[in-house]
């Protein structure tokens, strides 16, 4: 996770979070502070002291988290939970002390800092020490369960165990209906045991949120956007309405193609919903792996990035084997393979760094290359979910910064673009390290998620050809539609997913979704927003939300929805800064220092001012707006409309409940969504 933002950080199971995709860490006091503000201290002095204490205690906190994510066992979990507990206890103290300054004179910066202090964690801590300890233990355990999640089949000699990466490989590559179903269902077994922990987790964080004066944890999460929480929720509805028609067109086209591949019976679930296990992705959040089924014009402009990366891997492997000679042992061959995997992962990362340095941003510090986890270690469990870490807030001079990423990189397109995403977090850290710790965060958390993705939008076919990943790019209408489709499968398909996760959690936190309806509510929201459904019954014996990292990791998710709108606004502005004319989708600002300077200036603000001001500086607009998404995809949307002519688009969310024996009928309260003029066609 990448984050470093104090507010509702992205971080995962930990406590405060100063960073974007990493665990939240709450700094622990180093100075002997009591529960009282120190005598004679002014508000500004108090804020300065808190900032200093955060910075002093931060490295030890993040180290504990790093260890527990890259070496999962009982000991590392204990140490991480303890560190987190101390951090959150310290946070409680500061928040308590800050009360003494309510109404006192202070600078505008201090006012903002004190607001941000209360939002520093996405895991609001109960005051009671025993319950706080219980909370951090549960949080560490849930994340550990996710990271170590393994699905085994068979017995004895035939026993086969697979982790997430291997199960994802099946969804990525297999087109066998049953094989995919088994991989999908298999992964969803790992979260069943999390359910009681999650129920308790919700009670404990709600206790913490209410002690801080929030209605519940969801209300607290919605308070981090420089506007009233209700207004923020309404903003997300507004943005979704803006982009929904585009999603509906993509959904309609995709359903048709799935029916073509799997037959009318198996290519959809009753009501016109897309079968969850056939979308090439465990959570149906990115449909890019369905390229073989969805490519509009076969071979028009080859954009097979994964093939290009595979080729590089094979070359590295060839070299590694050659080095070991023709008589290499099995062990040596195995080592050659590991060496090649690491090498291609590093080269992919260097390639991503090159984009940033082409914008005149600094090279990553040496320590980054030394301490990053590039590939999955073989000797222990780790959390493979990608994240970016600022270990010490030491980047002012760019020399002492200890920044890292943690991934299990494979040579495919998805991981390649994720590297660009993660480096976006890292460059944000480096740029705002000169701010006081309480301002070391994204302008809002959606900004933090959007930096690297803005760069991904600038990875045009021309750019990809210039770095040798794809060849033979020709300008044609068909190549354009192919390129747009490739981007839409990643970006447009994501939008409703980005929304539904926290729609579920907001409901869980405010009590409108009770524990005995967790799974039902989850699938109702999946049906309503995404138009997807499981092919088999998913009753309350399952806990399917827990199979998505950010739920056991407690990372708020609305940030990704915002990011998927914001990144198009950022992209458009940087294109303008680079002097681009012509259609938006055609722009890359690779190698343009002007665009780079504009970007960097924004990053340096961190969270020191309301995000609206930062957005205005960059884009001239202080509202998040879906207009740039629609502008970018205008050619594709036109094309999709034509393809879908005469088809019955849309779906019926009421049909979402699995029509299997034990399933309860969907509640009448779920309105049909995306209301088709006529009901969706039945399979």
Footprint on this chain of ligand X8Z (rule: CB under 6 A): 1-2, 10, 21, 285, 386-387, 418, 421, 560
Whether 420 is catalytic is no
Q: How far is the CB of 387 from ligand X8Z (least distance, A)?
A: 6
Which candidate in 385, 448, 564, 605 is catalytic? 385
Closest approach of Cβ 62 to ligand X8Z, in Å?
Answer: 16
* Residue among 80 and 456 whose Cβ is closer to ligand X8Z: 456
For residues 446 and 221, the answer to whether their CB atoms sit within 8 Å is no
**Position of tokens 């994964």?**
306
- The C-alpha angle 636, 639, 640, rounded to 5 degrees, equals 85
Whole-angstrom Cα distance, residue 313 to residue 522? 39
The strand pair at 387-390 and 403-406 is best described as antiparallel
Rounded Cα–Cα distance for residues 63 and 391 (Å): 7
Q: In a 10 Å sphere around its CB, with 0-12 CB exposed, 13-18 middle and 19+ buried, how is residue 593 labelled?
A: middle
Alpha-carbon span 390 to 3, nearest angstrom: 8
Q: How far is residue 269's CA from residue 280's CA, in Å, rounded to a whole number?
A: 16
Closest CB 408 distance from ligand X8Z, rounded Å: 11
> By the 8 A CB rule, do 387 and 69 touch?
yes
- Contact call for residues 521 and 539 (beta carbons, < 8 A): no
Paired residues of 118 in beta bridges: none
Q: Which helix (H) or strand (E) holds 33?
A: none
CB of 583 vs ligand X8Z, minimal distance in Å: 26
Residue 560 site contact among Zn ion, ligand X8Z, none (CB < 5 to 8 Å, cut-off depends on kind)? ligand X8Z
The Cα–Cα gap between 190 and 164 comes to 10
CA torsion 627-629-633-637 (nearest 10°) is -70
Name the minimum Å distance from CB 397 to ligand X8Z: 26
* φ, ψ (nearest 5 deg) of residue 435: -80, 160
Which residue is catalytic, options 28, 134, 449, 576? 449
CA–centroid distance for 648 within its chain: 33
* Candidate list 3, 5, 188, 421, residue with the active-site label: 421
How near is the Cβ of 17 to ligand X8Z at its closest, in Å?
Answer: 12
Q: Toward ligand X8Z, which CB reaches closer, 92 or 121?
A: 121
Comparing CB distances to Zn ion, the nearer of 151 and 389 is: 389
Taking the complex as a whole, the smallest distance from the CB of residue 233 to ligand X8Z amounts, in Å, to 20
Q: Which does 278 bind (CB under 5 to 8 A by kind): Zn ion, ligand X8Z, none?
A: none
For 387, which DSSP code? E
Q: Active-site residue 225, yes or no? A: no
Closest alpha carbon to 55 in 84, 101, 18 = 18
Set 24, 85, 295, 422: catalytic member: 422
Least distance from ligand X8Z to the Cβ atom of residue 12, Å: 9
**Could you tell me which residues are beta bridge partners of residue 275?**
533
Q: Which is nearer to ligand X8Z, 10 or 116 (CB)?
A: 10
Between the CA atoms of 520, 522, 524 and 527, what dihedral angle is there, to the nearest 10 degrees?
-140
The strand pairing partners of 20, in sequence order, are: 3
What residue 559 binds from Zn ion, ligand X8Z, none (CB within 5 to 8 A, per partner kind)? none
Judge whether 251 counts as a catalytic residue. no
Tokens of 577: 């800064």
Nearer to Zn ion, 13 or 21 (CB): 21
CB of 569 to ligand X8Z, least distance (A): 17
Does the annotation mark 425 as catalytic? yes
- From the list Zn ion, ligand X8Z, none, partner contacted by residue 418 (C-beta under 5 to 8 A by kind): ligand X8Z
Count of residues in the chain: 683
Query: What SS3 string covers 206-241?
Result: HHHHHHCCCCCHHHHHCCCCCCCHHHHHHHHHHHHH
**In whole angstroms, how large is the CA radius of gyration of the chain?**
24
Cα–Cα distance measured from residue 432 to residue 245, given in angstroms and rounded to the nearest whole number: 37
Q: Can you read off the two tokens belonging to residue 218?
A: 């969801």
CA dist 475 and 480 (Å) reads 7
98 labelled catalytic = no
Of the pair 10, 181, the CB lying nearest Zn ion is at 10
| Minimum CB distance to ligand X8Z smaller for 63 or for 285 | 285
Query: Residue 681: how many CB atoms within 10 A of its CB?
Result: 16
Q: Whose Cβ is closer to ligand X8Z: residue 98's or residue 565's?
A: 565
The residue among 117 and 565 lying less far from ligand X8Z, judged by its C-beta, is 565
Residue 412, contacted partner among ligand X8Z, Zn ion, none, CB below 5-8 A by kind: none
Q: Based on CB atoms, which residue is closest to Zn ion, 185 or 449? A: 449
Instruction: Between 212 and 388, name the residue whose CB sits nearer to ligand X8Z.
Output: 388
Is 449 in the active site? yes
Burial of 567 (0-12, 13-18, 19+ CB in 10 A): buried
Q: Which residue from 305, 331, 333, 307 is spatially nearest to 318, judged by alpha carbons?
A: 333
Helix (H) or strand (E) holding 359: none
The backbone torsions φ and ψ at residue 305, rounded to the nearest 5 degrees and listed phi first, read -65, -40
CA-CA distance, 420 to 517, in Å (whole number)?
38
Q: How far is the CB of 285 from ligand X8Z (least distance, A)?
A: 6
Catalytic, 422? Answer yes
Give the nearest distance from C-beta 10 to ligand X8Z in angstroms: 6
Residue 5 is a catalytic residue: no
Site residues for Zn ion per CB under 5 A: 2, 21, 449
Catalytic residue among 386, 533, 655, 674: 386
Residue 392 contacts which entry, ligand X8Z, Zn ion, none (Cβ below 5-8 A, type-dependent): none
State the alpha helices, DSSP H only, in 123-269. 129-148, 164-173, 177-187, 195-211, 217-221, 229-266
| Residues annotated as catalytic (active site), given as ranges | 385-386, 421-422, 425, 449, 550, 560
């Amino acid at each position: 996770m990448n984050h470093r933002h104090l507010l509702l950080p992205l971080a995962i199971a930990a406590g405060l979070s100063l960073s974007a995709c990493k665990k939240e860490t709450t700094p622990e006091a180093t100075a002997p502070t009591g529960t009282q503000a120190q005598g004679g201290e002014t508000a500004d002095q108090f804020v300065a002291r808190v900032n200093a204490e955060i910075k002093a205690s931060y490295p030890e906190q993040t180290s504990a988290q790093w260890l527990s994510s890259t070496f999962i066992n009982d000991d590392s979990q204990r140490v991480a939970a303890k560190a987190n507990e101390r951090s959150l206890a310290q946070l409680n103290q500061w928040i308590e002390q800050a009360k003494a300054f309510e109404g006192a004179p202070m600078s505008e910066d201090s006012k903002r800092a004190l607001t941000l202090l209360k939002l520093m964690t996405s895991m609001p801590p109960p005051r009671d020490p025993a319950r706080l300890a219980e909370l951090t233990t549960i949080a560490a355990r849930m994340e550990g369960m996710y990271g170590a999640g393994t699905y085994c089949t068979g017995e004895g000699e035939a026993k086969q165990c697979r982790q997430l990466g291997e199960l994802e490989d099946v969804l990525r590559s297999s087109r066998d209906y049953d094989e995919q179903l088994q991989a999908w269902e298999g992964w969803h077994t790992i979260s069943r045991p999390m359910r009681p922990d999650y129920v308790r987790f919700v009670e404990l964080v709600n206790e913490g949120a209410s002690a801080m004066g929030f209605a519940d944890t969801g209300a607290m999460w919605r308070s981090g956007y420089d506007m009233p929480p209700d207004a923020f929720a309404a903003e997300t509805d507004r943005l979704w309405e803006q982009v929904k028609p585009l999603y509906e067109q993509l959904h309609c086209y995709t359903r048709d193609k799935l029916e073509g591949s799997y037959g009318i019976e198996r290519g959809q679930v009753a009501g016109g919903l897309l079968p969850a296990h056939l979308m090439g992705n465990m959570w149906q959040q990115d449909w890019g792996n369905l390229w073989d089924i969805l490519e509009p014009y076969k071979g028009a402009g080859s954009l097979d990035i994964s093939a290009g990366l595979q080729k590089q891997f094979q070359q590295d492997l060839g070299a590694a084997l050659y080095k070991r000679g023709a008589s290499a042992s099995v062990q040596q061959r195995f080592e050659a393979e590991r060496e090649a995997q690491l090498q291609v992962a590093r080269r992919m990362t260097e390639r991503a760094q090159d984009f940033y340095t082409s914008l005149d941003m600094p090279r990553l510090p040496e320590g980054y290359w030394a301490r990053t986890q590039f590939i999955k270690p073989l000797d222990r469990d780790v959390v493979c979910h990608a994240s970016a870490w600022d270990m010490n807030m030491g980047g002012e001079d760019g020399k002492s910064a200890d920044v890292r990423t943690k991934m299990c990189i494979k040579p495919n397109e998805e991981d390649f673009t994720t590297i660009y995403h993660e480096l976006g977090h890292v460059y944000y850290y480096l740029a705002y390290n000169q701010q006081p710790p309480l301002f070391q965060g994204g302008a809002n958390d959606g900004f933090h998620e959007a930096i690297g993705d803005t760069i991904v939008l600038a990875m045009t076919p021309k750019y990809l050809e210039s770095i040798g990943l794809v060849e033979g790019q020709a300008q044609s209408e068909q190549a354009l539609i192919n390129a747009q489709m490739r981007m839409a499968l990643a970006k447009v398909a994501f939008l409703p997913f980005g929304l539904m996760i926290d729609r579920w959690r907001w409901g869980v936190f405010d009590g409108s979704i009770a524990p005995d309806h967790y799974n039902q509510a989850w699938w109702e929201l999946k049906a309503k927003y995404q138009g997807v459904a499981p092919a088999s019954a998913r009753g309350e014996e399952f806990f399917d939300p827990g199979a998505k990292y950010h739920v056991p990791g407690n990372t708020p998710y609305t940030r990704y929805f915002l990011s998927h709108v914001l990144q198009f606004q950022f992209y458009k502005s940087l294109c303008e800064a680079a002097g681009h004319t012509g259609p938006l989708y055609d722009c890359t600002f690779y190698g343009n220092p002007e665009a780079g300077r504009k970007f960097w200036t924004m990053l340096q603000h961190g969270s020191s001012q309301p995000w609206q001001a930062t957005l205005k500086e960059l884009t001239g607009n202080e509202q998040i707006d879906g207009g740039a998404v629609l502008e970018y995809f205008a050619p594709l949307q036109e094309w999709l409309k034509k393809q879908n002519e005469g088809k019955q688009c849309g779906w019926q969310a009421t049909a979402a409940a699995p029509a299997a024996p034990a399933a309860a009928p969907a509640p009448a309260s779920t309105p049909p969504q995306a209301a088709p003029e006529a009901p969706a066609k039945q399979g």
